[in-house]
Structure 1
Amino acid sequence: MLLSHRVEDGVRLASLLWEFGPGWRAISSAMVGGGIGPVEWVLNAQVPGGYARMDPVAHLLEMAPPGRGVGMLTAASVERFTRAADGGVKVAATTGLRVPTWAAAPEGAADPELAPMHMPGTINIIVAVPVAMSDAALVNTVMTVTEAKTQALVEEGFPCTGTASDAVCVAVRDDGPEEPFGGPRSLWGARVARAVHSAVRRGARDWAGRDRHSAVRRGPRGRTRSDQDITQGEEISGTTM
């Protein structure tokens, strides 16, 4: 995994690139590489708050390496990403909670994303699982990622299921026996759930610690150190599979 920086419109922005190489496929909700298909890399690129470009796909492809991959955008601080591992599963997450949102809202309710912007909010989650999975298991794993994310947010006192712009990518091997299940009580689903829960919970604590005036939050506030103290372009050890 590689963290790098670029300058756009006078703003220093970070990007996190996870290169898998051949032999992987992924399920993703991202604008670039969304759906199910082969994947060689995943890019999580930071953009300024109030991002207004009308060509986000082209923008992502300008920053991406060659080959087939998944590209995500976020206004959250990418260099403050958090990561976790469990039983061979590896997770990297960027967490922004400017506008925590419940998935089910009353019809006609005001769009909270239109609230005045002082801190950005999006949660992007990348998961790598070192085994093959059926298509159904991939879908099931995305459910597990979302449930574990929500559990972490609620436990940290954020009354929400996430934000309205969250994205997820789950990468798995494309060879070998396919795992048929990805639910939280399956072998690999349980590992995914624990790793996602850990990464998002630490990200939520870190975000709250940096912004004491964020959207409504219940419970004690804390701050933990995340994996941000690395130099531009430095490879982050222990994340290549």
Structure 2
Amino acid sequence: MIKKVLRYSLDKQYITLSSTLYPEGISYVDNIVLVIVDKNYCNTNPWTDIMQYVNENSVAFMTASEKFIFEKYDGKIKIFLSAGIGESGEDAGCTINIGVFLDFSLNINGLVDLVRTVTEAKCGALRDLSLPYTGTASDAVAVGSLAGNEYFSGPSTELGKRIAKIVREKIKELLT
């Protein structure tokens, strides 16, 4: 059962690499849709539920957690997080969703590296909380940037370090 649908404007269009329910793979998005479902939600085809809330420029996350943030940093970094975990970490009703959108120019390899950066930050946050897993069964990541070749976003770059720190701290805040 769907409890609530929230929308966030990204204020511009980003080339995006995503493991979310919608869209698949690489696309252009300008808004985030968060679909909050009941903890007992069970649908083997969640796309049927989510498609009524998206448009062609949406990135859509689904969760049973009502702990989420959408924040902007330095006018160039936008971070969306929703976080909840079940007792085993395998409960698909609770999810850790991460969306990072940058007003920097990245190529596709830079976006892939950004996925690695935020995923490692998520795992680090769970380790900091002494949890025995690296995520949940239904976690999703979406990263986006302006198209180009200017920046690299790995965890050893200043940009990557900043994003990893924010993601790690915010996940811990949402889960405690």
TM over 0.5: yes
Partner of 1:67: 56
For 2:25, the equivalent position in structure 1 comes to: 35
Q: Residue 96 of structure 1 is aligned with which of 84, 87, 109? A: 84
How far is the alpha carbon of 1:145 from its aligned partner? Answer: 0.3
Partner of 2:164 in structure 1? 193
State the AA in 1 paired with 2:162. Answer: R
How far 1:99 moved relative to its partner?
A: 4.1
SS at match of 1:30: coil
Equivalent position to 1:168, from 118, 136, 141: 141
Tell me the amino acid that sits aligned with residue 101 of structure 2.
Answer: A
Q: Is the 8 A contact 1:99 1:121 kept in 2?
A: no
Unaligned 5+ runs, structure 2: none
Q: Hey, what does 2:38 align to over in structure 1? A: 48
1:159 aligns with 2:132: yes
Residue equivalent to 1:140: 113
Aligned-pair identity in percent equals 28
Match of 1:17 in 2: 7
Q: How many pairs are equivalent? A: 175
Which SS does the other structure have where 2:78 is aligned?
strand
Change in 2 beyond 3 A, CA 1:185/1:86? farther
| Residue 92 to residue 191, structure 1, CA distance change in 2 (3 Å) | same
Within 1, Cα distance between the matches of 2:163 and 2:107? 16
Would the alpha carbon gap of residues 100 and 145 (structure 1) be closer, same or farther in structure 2, given more than 3 Å must change? Answer: farther
3-state SS, counterpart of residue 23 of structure 1 = strand
The 1-side partners of 2:129 and 2:139 are apart by 18
Please tell me whether the aligned partners of residues 46 and 74 of structure 1 are also in contact (alpha carbons under 8 angstroms): yes
Is 1:127 aligned with 2:108? Answer: no
Give the TM-score normalised by structure 2: 0.87
Q: Match for 1:189: what amino acid?
A: G
Residue aligned with 1:170, SS: strand
Encode CA deviations 1:137-176: one digit per residue, 9 max, x unaligned: 10010011011111111112222211121011112123xx
In 2, Cα distance between the equivalents of 1:58 and 1:197? 32
Q: Is the Cα–Cα contact under 8 Å of residues 83 and 199 in structure 1 kept in the other structure?
A: no
Q: Gaps spanning 5+ residues in structure 1: where? A: 1-7, 102-111, 115-119, 206-241
Match for 1:154: what amino acid?
Answer: R
Query: Which is higher, the Rg of structure 1 or of structure 2?
Result: 1
AA aligned opposite 2:58: G
Q: Which has the higher strand share?
A: 2
In 2, Cα distance between equivalents of 1:45 and 1:185? 33
Q: How far off is 1:121 after superposition?
A: 1.7
Query: Cα offset for 1:86?
Result: 4.7
Partners in 2 of 1:59 and 1:71 — Cα distance? 11
